[in-house]
Structure 1
């Protein structure tokens, strides 16, 4: 049960938006069914004049229901939910919200039980200041704790991020703020601390004496799908690289924290970020996908980014980027951290790849490829070590293979919670270890803002790459510049062991 004493009301601000319908409402329903107390209540707040029944109807297509029990849980959840419509910039609307929260709290407070408020802000940046100011003015929990969950974007650059952070600091303590990056809730991200610091075998090789390069990859096999108007002002660096990918980099590069306390973990991540210099343009490749005209005209692959009617025809926004970062400390000096992210690529995956140096004293006539340790974040979470072995038989032939831990097979039957489900449970529990602290945010923006300013000002034309490809060839050339080798001779295939072999 939650570490926080008392009952809790969860208030979803922006309750009628896409994120709320597709992710937050369904996640809350699952939490209510599996973890939360029966007294938990949920309130939606948005400008749209709706009823809770209309919200329920909009959420239903996005709720994964498999059994009659799931359907009952869905109905039970919305029976404990309510909806209030109001303006984001109007104090009277938030007074009305506050009165509604007080009415929901009455039964608990009459028994002397404190009632806590969790506000989830699924609202656009344009109304963020007004919403947070009105929450502070009108809607703080009278006798319980108040927590505020903030969705990205956390600003557009270092300056705007600092303005946002200073605004929040005037309203709330850092302990009340939960800046959510859903990649920190993914199973493999959660596992990194255990895999790194709970296994002695990795310690001696986790440094520049053994590792040649680190590559972090985020690939999407889809394009903007008519959402280019939302994506275009940001681009792939702001959308994915400055936040999700940097957080994964920190998990790879950080030193062992003195404990699992949130501030100890986040302090080590900040130390890593402080040792990274701003990205230089010569260490970056920018790309923008074009349509594959060999595909059917009605397929997504046929359409390029600029064919999206919501995208300006002169847009130079990158849908792909590769950037090389350098962590200037004793452990990582000389090891390039290559971050590659893009839309409209050949597959969907996110992974962390540590490529080791060549084996010394080659006796195999240069037939050996480099060893790699790979953490597959999505899909099919796995850890596998790529290594050379002899093919069974009379001939002495070598082949790349793997030692494989595919989590879905090893832990068959275990539930793999959705990232949002895990993170919102942490909010209920008051655990901030998987949320972004203000100084983390500042350092991440410091690394990328000079590059982003140059891209925005100079309007560098991205390199074209065909929808469904691996990305621009220039990206491969940049990796080769830093001696990251890609042979193309190996494809990871999740193991399919029988129960008798397990």
Structure 2
């Protein structure tokens, strides 16, 4: 985290979490807030109020959250400090469509305001299904809970819309209730330490900027793969698919960080302006380009680490003849001065050989080889590999002479490893993003125009795939690297998908 934030004295803050008993609240939000409390980042006065339909008392809700802390907190099981933290936890039985629920919020805010002797910041976290976003926003406005634009914020999880038109409509609806400065569209990928370090790595080191362009970079790969399948989320995934679930948000965010121009300052809108510039410069897909530059796949059954797993069409709540993609690969170009002619290859998939998120910058080869062929062992072009998960590292692959009397070259890695460089644990992504929400820093959050630009870019692919049923699904087996056409997509340009060997992978 930014150490400068330690100088900020946060005002009293109230979190209203819609979806209090949901998986996101249990696994991520409350453990993140608890860890912030342990590390001294929470304000002196704060309240976390879970909103839900279950008939819990404050005490019952606290007991349930204690179980979640013991299971999911990066700091392990709760210690004696839980007692102090739990006093800030409350539960409110509520119905999203019921006016009485919002009147109760008004009462609670006024009570805390009187008790604390200050005007509190109020954060509404919408950890609910997207179909409820509009109703909550309208009810908050009706009861004048959003009037204080300086002190009121709303946090919205993905998916933000289902396509370009629905995202645009949701933005328009929210803009009638909130200002853009109040809206925090959260993408947890942007809270990961290694992702944030892309900005530091690029713009705090003068040696990189001169070579960060088409003159020196051959191509860029962004790969986010998962061993997991849909894991009981078949109903959701049938409506989403890999493009909507991963590419439109997570992967495009990574691409923008890699490709953006240097911002004038680290102000939130200046950084986000540069990200939007990247999306606007991306070459749009024409209908005839989809078959050449986009590949889709769907996993079949197979074995992963000795366990037999189902194919996608056999998963619960999935259509036995589903046309939904669980794998997507794209080839993109950014038509601007810096990146003209440099291909960007993106891929994501479920039931893949390993779970990993990596960005690979492959540099052009040396212009003239002075070494004889017999001196080279496994020659490869220089690469910069940014590993986001499961390990957090940045490595530069170079050629070096092996020890000995003969001139023999082979690849070596220069590695920056978080675990080796720093003591202590890195904060979870939600810790960073929740703290930024309390501070009012929108740098790591998506703006309306960025969301719409990302959807606009993908619509030709989404429309093409939905209009034409794939006749070869499933087309890759579990524990593979995806469909053969994905290999062909990059191989026809003379490249291959780079995979970083994992230490824990046998």
TM-score by length of 2: 0.91
- State the Cα deviation string for residues 335-361 of structure 1 (Å, max 9, x = none): 111111011111111111001112221
Change (3 A) 1:455 1:57: farther
Distance 2:403 2:350 in 1: 40
Which residue is 1:21 aligned to?
26
Residue 237 (structure 2) aligned to one of 231, 238, 244 = 231
Distance 1:214 1:69 in 2: 41
Which residue is 1:358 aligned to?
365
Between 1:367-376 and 1:253-262, the stretch displaced more is 367-376
Q: For 1:6-405, what aligned pairs fall within 5 Å after superposition?
A: 6-34=11-39, 35-63=41-69, 64=72, 70-108=78-116, 111=117, 113-138=118-143, 140=145, 145-279=151-285, 280-281=289-290, 282-292=292-302, 299=307, 301-362=308-369, 363-365=371-373, 368-405=379-416
Return the offset for 1:53. Answer: 3.1
Change (3 A) 1:340 1:142: closer
**Is the Cα contact below 8 Å between 2:10 and 2:43 reproduced in 1?**
no
Unpaired runs of 5+ residues, structure 1, are 495-502
Return the offset for 1:74. Answer: 2.7
Change (3 A) 1:68 1:481: closer
Which residue is 1:500 aligned to?
none
Residues 1:439 and 2:449 are matched in the alignment = yes
Residues 1:409 and 2:420 are matched in the alignment = yes
* Partner SS for 2:415: strand
Between 1:304-313 and 1:347-356, the stretch displaced more is 304-313
Distance 2:146 2:465 in 1: 44
* Partner SS for 2:176: helix
Change (3 A) 1:473 1:69: closer
Distance 1:434 1:399 in 2: 39
Change (3 A) 1:414 1:364: farther
Between 1:172-181 and 1:61-70, the stretch displaced more is 61-70
Unpaired runs of 5+ residues, structure 2, are 1-5
Between 1:215-224 and 1:363-372, the stretch displaced more is 363-372
Q: For 1:419-458, what aligned pairs fall within 5 Å after superposition?
A: 419-458=429-468
Distance 1:172 1:267 in 2: 20
Change (3 A) 1:246 1:2: farther
Displaced runs of 4 or more, over 4 A: 1-5, 64-69, 141-144, 293-296
Return the offset for 1:13. Answer: 1.1
Distance 1:416 1:139 in 2: 39
* Partner SS for 1:234: helix
Return the offset for 1:453. Answer: 1.6
**Is the Cα contact below 8 Å between 2:234 and 2:318 reproduced in 1?**
yes
Between 1:8-17 and 1:429-438, the stretch displaced more is 8-17
Distance 1:182 1:286 in 2: 25
**Is the Cα contact below 8 Å between 1:214 and 1:336 reproduced in 2?**
yes
Distance 1:313 1:52 in 2: 44
**Is the Cα contact below 8 Å between 1:9 and 1:40 reproduced in 2?**
yes
RMSD: 2.3
Between 1:30-39 and 1:316-325, the stretch displaced more is 30-39
Return the offset for 1:276. Answer: 0.7
Change (3 A) 1:398 1:229: same
- State the Cα deviation string for residues 282-311 of structure 1 (Å, max 9, x = none): 201111111126986xx3x43211121221
* Partner SS for 2:80: helix
Give aligned pairs, total.
Answer: 486
Return the offset for 1:251. Answer: 0.4
Distance 2:68 2:122 in 1: 25
Change (3 A) 1:172 1:67: closer
Which residue is 1:498 aligned to?
none
Return the offset for 1:153. Answer: 0.7
* Partner SS for 2:92: strand
* Partner SS for 1:54: helix
Which residue is 2:475 aligned to?
464
Change (3 A) 1:414 1:337: same
Change (3 A) 1:466 1:140: same
Distance 1:491 1:406 in 2: 15
**Is the Cα contact below 8 Å between 2:11 and 2:45 reproduced in 1?**
no
Return the offset for 1:223. Answer: 1.0
Return the offset for 1:107. Answer: 1.1
* Partner SS for 1:134: helix
Between 1:381-390 and 1:333-342, the stretch displaced more is 381-390
**Is the Cα contact below 8 Å between 1:65 and 1:71 reproduced in 2?**
no
